[in-house]
């Protein structure tokens, strides 16, 4: 199964934020969006999920245009993992995951024993079954992110859209969440996620998309897209891409910011000097 | 491992048990409240007397209950008790629904301006000497207008949505309250003005069976619909984007929930006047007892709401030689509770 976005114009109230966006993703792939704050990542996500109406272009799933699909049908294919949040009401974890079953329930029905089983399995898959009876608003940020992923899994979608799944998490939890992302791709789920760390894309993404000021300027495999030149124009930071041995003839690529006079650490030094004078 | 499993099963089991006990308690409280309210009043009836009397009504038994019991129990107290339970149900259930739908634990029929709007509609109806049905329709239409304005204003302002909804609701409430004041100003001071004023304070003193019958259908219909969509209310309480991405047509369901909650509120207002704070206090009590899942929250709110209003109405009847308006008592209890909530739930306000 393949989703294609063709020449999409996305935005709010007639004001386009993202223009001319074309990309595609298949089941089992991980697509990582990189771009500075305010570049249009969330807007693009909302359009893919059908939360924002496209102002131009089209989204096609295996040849069918999905723009006029009812909500329930979209939810059978796409699940959304929002950034960690505090909902207004203190639901327990099991209820939170069961909410993922909504698209499979009738308008007037409540989850059945089978839905509970599916939710319970989703908790198992993410290794958080022990949180089942806990209150969602009282567990840690990392745990909440896993619960939201479990909820999306319970929805049994073909694609997951994750808005900065590693935001506000400590280093250990970032790696935990990313390893789950990889695991989900192994289950043949297509994952679209955004991140602020090019390193995450190197290690976990099959495809990378670079977006700045609402325009896509790179789409392809991490190795060919995440270059020193591209990152410089994306973030205005000088980086060096280095290869590191991690044993067993395995190498990973890493981005290391380097000092210069115009940006990054150089800029901070310059400002510090100015302040001292 | 096995032990842990057994242990976790056991805790699950005891949790289920304590929940079951809680439900039994809530039901027992309603029944007790009902019986106590029947026996309480200026004409003293002991529970024993009441028991004999009710049994004699059901089975053809010999009994020597005084004939006045029939009038006091069936024609005076029974309609009033039913009305109290219906109004309690309507306000508590609509409060819970508004809170979930607007993802805002601080709103209630009062705070959204629904009560003031419905009160304005009903006052207009009294002013023009309309019949029951028309008064109810007016009160529903203006209640709905009030909620829609509060909601509309709050969506136009794109920051701190929870606070803004509360503020715009208060503003709309003020608007309709001044409308009511104007009607009072122009109303005939010998007959219309006292009727409007006394009724607005919130009271069930003059309720009869015809009143009860006139609101029974809207309140029951609203309750049933809200109960049917109880799972969807959980989804709505997550917010617009999440609810949609979970597969819910939020626009349609939001609209229906607003219609139902407002219908129930305005039906309640049309027989009891403005009884404040019930729709705010009761859902919070229910949530503390049984959690925020609407599958439990809604029935719990209904049980607690009807018990609460029964007991407060008993207070209204018994507190002083002259009847105390119900609305005054619910405010006396509700406002301090709201302050308690504000200080307690710091975490919830982002």
Residue B91: pLDDT above 50? yes
pLDDT tens, residue by residue, A185-234? 999 999 999 999 999 999 899 999 999 999 998 999 999 999 999 999 99
What does pTM read for this prediction?
0.89
Within the 296-325 window of chain B, which residues sit less than 8 Å (CB to CB) from chain A?
Answer: none
Are residues B234 and A87, on separate chains, in Cβ contact within 8 Å?
no
CA distance A90 to chain B (A): 6
B239–chain A Cβ distance below 8 A for any pair = yes
Residues of A in contact with B293 (CB under 8 A): 91-92, 95
- The answer to whether A99 touches B246, Cβ cutoff 8 Å, is yes
Task: Name the CATH superfamily housing domain B79-344.
Answer: ABC transporter involved in vitamin B12 uptake, BtuC (1.10.3470.10)
* pLDDT for position B349: 39
Q: Which helix (H) or strand (E) holds A245?
A: strand A239-245
* pLDDT for position A268: 62
Are residues A86 and B350, on separate chains, in Cβ contact within 8 Å?
yes
Residue of A177, A213, A207, A191 whose CA lies nearest to A18: A213
Are residues A87 and B239, on separate chains, in Cβ contact within 8 Å?
yes
Of A71, A80, A99, the CB nearest to B249: A71
**A-B C-beta contacts closer than 8 Å:** 90
Residue A61 forms beta bridges with which residues? A3, A64
pLDDT tens, residue by residue, A127-157? 999 999 999 999 999 999 999 999 999 999 9
The residue ranking higher by pLDDT, B91 or B13, is B91
CB atoms closer than 10 angstroms to residue B92:
34
The residue ranking higher by pLDDT, A247 or B144, is B144
Of A15-19, B75-79, B304-308, give the range with the top mean pLDDT. Answer: B304-308
Residue A191 forms beta bridges with which residues? A30, A160
B160–chain A Cβ distance below 8 A for any pair = no
A69–chain B Cβ distance below 8 A for any pair = no
Mean pLDDT of B203-229: 92
CA distance A190 to chain B (A): 16
B248–chain A Cβ distance below 8 A for any pair = yes
B245–chain A Cβ distance below 8 A for any pair = yes
B216 by Cβ neighbours in 10 Å (0-12 / 13-18 / 19+) ranks as: middle
Residue of A62, A83, A52 whose CA lies nearest to A158: A62
Mean pLDDT of B154-173: 88
Are residues B295 and A110, on separate chains, in Cβ contact within 8 Å?
yes
Confidence of residue A183 (pLDDT cuts 50, 70, 90): very high
* pLDDT for position B340: 82
The residue ranking higher by pLDDT, B322 or A205, is A205
User: Who's near A9: CB < 8 A, 6+ residues apart?
Assistant: A16, A18, A19, A20, A21, A54, A55, A56, A57
* pLDDT for position B55: 81
pLDDT tens, residue by residue, A69-127? 999 999 999 999 998 888 889 999 999 999 999 999 998 999 999 999 999 999 999 99
| Among chain B residues, CA nearest to A153 | B246
pLDDT tens, residue by residue, B268-303? 998 898 898 999 999 999 998 899 999 999 999 999
Confidence of residue B58 (pLDDT cuts 50, 70, 90): confident
Are residues A107 and B103, on separate chains, in Cβ contact within 8 Å?
no
Confidence of residue B85 (pLDDT cuts 50, 70, 90): very high
* pLDDT for position B1: 45
* pLDDT for position B195: 84
User: Among A32-46, A257-271, B105-119, where is mean pLDDT lowest?
Assistant: A257-271
Residue B163: pLDDT above 50? yes
Residue A182: pLDDT above 90? yes
Residue A271: pLDDT above 70? no
B235–chain A Cβ distance below 8 A for any pair = yes
Mean residue pLDDT of chain B comes to 88
* pLDDT for position A274: 66
Within the 229-268 window of chain A, which residues sit less than 8 Å (CB to CB) from chain B?
Answer: none
B287–chain A Cβ distance below 8 A for any pair = yes
| Token pair 């074309």 in the structure block, residue | A22
Residues of A in contact with B249 (CB under 8 A): 70-72
B254–chain A Cβ distance below 8 A for any pair = no
CA distance A17 to chain B (A): 18
Residue A92 forms beta bridges with which residues? A135
Q: Break chain B into its structural domains and give their ranges.
A: 79-344
Cα angle B267, B273, B276; round to 5: 95
Residue B346: pLDDT above 60? no
């Amino acid at each position: 199964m393949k989703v294609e976005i063709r020449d999409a114009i996305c935005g709010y109230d007639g004001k386009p934020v993202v223009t001319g966006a074309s990309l595609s993703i298949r089941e089992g792939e991980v697509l990582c969006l990189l771009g500075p704050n305010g570049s249009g990542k969330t807007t693009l996500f909302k359009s893919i999920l059908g939360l924002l109406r496209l102002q131009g272009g089209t989204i096609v799933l295996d040849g069918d245009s999905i723009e006029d699909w009812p909500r329930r049908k979209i939810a059978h294919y796409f699940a959304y993992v929002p950034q960690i949040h505090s909902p207004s009401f203190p639901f327990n974890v099991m209820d939170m995951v069961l909410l993922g079953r909504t698209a499979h329930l009738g308008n007037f029905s409540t989850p059945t024993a089978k839905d509970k089983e599916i939710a319970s399995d989703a908790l198992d898959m993410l290794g958080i079954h022990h949180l089942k009876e806990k209150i969602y608003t009282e567990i840690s940020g990392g745990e909440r992110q896993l619960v939201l992923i479990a909820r999306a899994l319970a929805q049994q979608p073909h694609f997951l859209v994750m808005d900065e799944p590693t935001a506000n998490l400590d280093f250990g939890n970032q790696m935990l969440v990313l390893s789950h992302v990889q695991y989900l791709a192994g289950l043949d789920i297509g994952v679209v996620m955004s991140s602020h760390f090019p390193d995450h894309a190197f290690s976990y993404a099959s495809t990378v998309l670079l977006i700045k000021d609402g325009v896509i300027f790179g789409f392809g495999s991490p190795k060919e897209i995440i270059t020193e030149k591209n990152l410089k124009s994306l973030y205005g930071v000088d980086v060096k891409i280095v290869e590191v041995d991690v044993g067993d003839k395995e190498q990973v690529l890493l981005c290391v910011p380097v000092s210069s006079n115009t940006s990054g650490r150089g800029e901070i030094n310059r400002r510090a000097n100015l302040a001292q004078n | 491992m096995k032990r842990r499993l057994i242990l976790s099963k056991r805790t699950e089991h005891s949790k289920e048990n304590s929940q079951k006990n809680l439900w039994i308690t809530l039901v027992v409280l309603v029944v007790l409240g009902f019986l106590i309210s029947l026996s309480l009043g200026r004409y003293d009836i002991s529970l024993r007397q009441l028991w004999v009397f009710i049994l004699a009504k059901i089975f053809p038994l010999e009994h020597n209950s005084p004939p006045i019991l029939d009038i006091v129990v069936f024609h005076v107290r029974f309609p009033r008790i039913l009305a109290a339970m219906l109004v309690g149900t309507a306000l508590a259930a609509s409060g819970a629904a508004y809170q979930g739908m607007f993802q805002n634990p601080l709103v209630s029929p009062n705070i959204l301006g629904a009560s003031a709007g419905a009160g304005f509609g009903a006052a207009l109806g009294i002013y023009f000497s309309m019949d029951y049905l028309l008064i109810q329709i007016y009160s529903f239409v203006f209640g709905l207008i009030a909620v829609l304005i509060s909601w509309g204003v709050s969506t136009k302002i794109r920051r701190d949505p929870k606070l803004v909804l509360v503020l715009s609701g208060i503003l709309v409430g003020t608007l309709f309250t001044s409308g009511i004041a104007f009607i009072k100003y122009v109303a005939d001071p010998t007959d219309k003005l006292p009727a409007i004023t006394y009724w607005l304070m919130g009271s069930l003193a003059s309720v009869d069976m015809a009143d009860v019958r006139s609101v029974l259908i809207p309140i029951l219909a609203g309750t049933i619909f809200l109960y049917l969509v109880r799972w969807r209310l959980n989804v709505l309480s997550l917010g617009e984007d999440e609810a949609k991405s979970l597969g819910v047509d939020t626009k349609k369901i939001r609209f229906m929930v607003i219609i139902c909650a407002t219908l129930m509120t305005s039906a309640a207002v049309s027989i009891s006047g403005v009884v404040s704070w019930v729709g705010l206090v009761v859902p919070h009590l229910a949530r503390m007892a049984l959690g925020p899942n609407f599958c439990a929250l809604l029935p719990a709110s209904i049980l607690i709401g009807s018990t609460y209003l029964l007991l407060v109405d008993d207070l209204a009847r018994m507190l002083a030689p002259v009847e105390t308006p119900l609305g005054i008592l619910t405010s006396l209890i509700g406002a301090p509770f709201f302050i308690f909530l504000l200080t307690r739930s710091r975490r919830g306000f982002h």
